[in-house]
Structure formats: C-alpha cells, structure tokens
Amino acid sequence: MLRPGYIQIRVTDLGAALKHYVDRVGLHEVSREADGRAYLRAWDEFDRHSVVLREADGPGMDYVGFKVANEADLNSFARRIEAFGIEVEEVSAEEQPGVWSTLEVPCSDRPSYRIVRGDGAV
C-alpha cells in the first residue's frame, strides 16, 4: 500500500460543498463531469484528484481508495482479500476520469474500499 488515493463524499448541496472545499479548505476544482460529480485536489498533488463530491439525498462517504504501486500489487491484494472469502469487484477504468485499474471491496452496511493501481495519475 502506497498511501490513501481518493475519497468520494456524498453531499446534499453540491454548490455549498464546493464553496466549503474550495474557498475554505483550499482545494482546487479539477472538473465537473456529466454525471454531476465534482473532482478536487490539493495544490501540490501529483494525482488528478483526491476528493470526489457527489450530490445525494443524505450526506456520507461512498468509498475511500488506497493506492498501490502497480498491477502486481493490485492482483496480490485481490488474492489476499478473496482468500478471506470476501468478494472483490473490478471497477471500470471509465468510472472516474484519470483512474486506472481499480478493485472494490463492496460493503453493504458501510462505505466500500477501493484499491487503485498507482502507476498512472489518479
């Protein structure tokens, strides 16, 4: 595991959330996509984004992603997680702009965890 990669946060008012994260916290808005999500990052980050805001009926966190160095590490994590009898799902590279190979460990009663290959910018 290299480091945390990104987090997707559910917000009830995207405009107010953007004002908070951009004007108060100091994050930079990278893009707003057709699906309504807003992508943010800090000024000194190498990756494309680290915070994703998604408007929803209630606040919360959808998932947090952790970054690994390469495809071999990603596959190793998948095998180790599955060895515990836990399902691992592959996430399409098109699901988020700038994100490469991603695995998700879905959780029904809490936010999901994602593992992201780190040899491309997130």
**What is the CATH number for 50?**
3.10.180.10
The pLDDT assigned to 121 comes to 46
Domain count of the fold of the chain: 1
- As a whole number of angstroms, the distance between CA 100 and CA 93 comes to 5
Q: What residue numbers bound the domain in which 98 lies?
A: 3-117
pLDDT by residue for the chain (122 residues), tens digit each?
888 888 999 999 999 999 999 999 999 999 999 999 999 999 988 888 999 999 999 999 998 988 888 889 888 989 999 999 998 988 876 677 766 678 888 777 777 787 777 655 44
Q: What is this structure's pTM?
A: 0.82
| Residue 83 covered by a domain | yes
pLDDT for the residue 55: 97
Question: Which H or E element spans position 73?
Answer: helix 71-83
Phi, psi torsion values for 72, nearest 5 degrees: -60, -40
- Burial-class residue 64 by CB neighbours within 10 Å (0-12, 13-18, 19+): middle
